Amino acid sequence: MKAILFIFLGGGLGSVLRYLISKGLNTDTTLIPYGTFAVNVIGSLLIGLIIGLSAKGNILSQNQTLLLATGFCGGFTTFSAFAYENQQFLKSGDFLSFALYTIGSFILGFLAVFLGMYLVK
């Protein structure tokens, strides 16, 4: 039950922060939804750092890892918004934004995870 509480608290905090960043950066006048893009790349870096620290030994406890990785990063990043925004690009025929957003998110997301894990080595 304690683990569920940590995940719940982290997820709530991550979701609120994601909302604030997306509200501030996502506008109808930009090529891609920069807020969602930013939280997904930042979240990828954070989970790389968190998992890297967790794997190092006694730096993070299991509860801290649940709070930060599963909870916070799970609430902070958002695949569902990413998928919806891409569906909107395809529906409107904006294939350039679709391609840039999708490829950029995957490449930078993966690189950010690896960077986070590398930084804690």
* Tens place of pLDDT per residue across the chain (121 aa): 999 999 999 999 999 999 999 999 988 777 889 999 999 999 999 999 999 999 887 789 999 999 999 999 999 998 888 998 999 999 999 999 999 999 999 999 999 999 999 999 8
According to the model, what pLDDT value does residue 113 have?
95
According to the model, what pLDDT value does residue 95 have?
97
Nearby residues of 10 by Cβ (< 8 Å), 6 or more positions away: 66, 67, 68, 70, 71, 72, 73, 74, 75
Residue 30, phi then psi, degrees to nearest 5: -100, 160
According to the model, what pLDDT value does residue 121 have?
84
According to the model, what pLDDT value does residue 70 have?
94
According to the model, what pLDDT value does residue 60 have?
92
Of 5, 105, 6, the residue nearest 64 (C-alpha): 6
Q: What is the pTM of this model?
A: 0.85
Domain ranges of the chain: 2-24+34-119
